[in-house]
C-alpha cells in the first residue's frame, strides 16, 4: 500500500466539506427567500386584521377615557362654581 499524503487528504476534505456547507447554506438562503416571497404573497399574515382590531379598540378605549375625563372635569367645574 502506498503512503498517503495526509495533508493533501486533509485539504481534499476541506474543499469537499466547505463546498458542501456553502452549497447547502446558499441553497437554503435561496429557498428561504423564495419561501418568504410565496408566503407573503399567498398567505399574508392573518393576524394583521386582528391587530388592527386590537389597536382600534384601544383607540376607542382612549377616546372613552378622554370623554370621561372631560365630563369629570366639567362636573368639578360646575360644583366649584
- In the complex, the residues that contact other proteins under the rule CB under 8 A are 5-7, 9-11, 13-14, 16-18, 20-29, 31-33, 35-36, 39-40, 43, 45, 47
Minimum distance between the CB of residue 54 and other proteins, rounded to whole angstroms?
15
Handedness of CA 33, 36, 40, 45 (dihedral sign): negative
- CB burial readout 43-65, b (16+ within 10 A) else e: eeeeeeeeeeeeeeeeeeeeeee
**Closest CB 60 distance from other proteins, rounded Å:** 25
Which of 26/68 has CB closer to other proteins?
26
Amino acid at each position: 500500500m502506498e503512503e498517503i499524503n495526509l495533508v493533501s487528504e486533509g485539504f481534499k476534505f476541506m474543499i469537499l466539506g466547505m463546498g458542501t456547507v456553502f452549497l447547502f447554506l446558499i441553497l437554503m438562503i435561496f429557498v428561504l427567500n423564495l419561501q418568504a416571497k410565496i408566503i407573503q404573497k399567498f398567505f399574508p399574515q392573518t393576524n394583521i386584521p386582528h391587530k388592527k382590531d386590537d389597536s382600534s379598540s384601544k383607540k376607542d378605549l382612549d377616546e372613552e377615557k378622554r370623554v370621561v375625563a372631560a365630563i369629570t372635569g366639567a362636573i368639578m367645574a360646575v360644583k366649584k362654581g
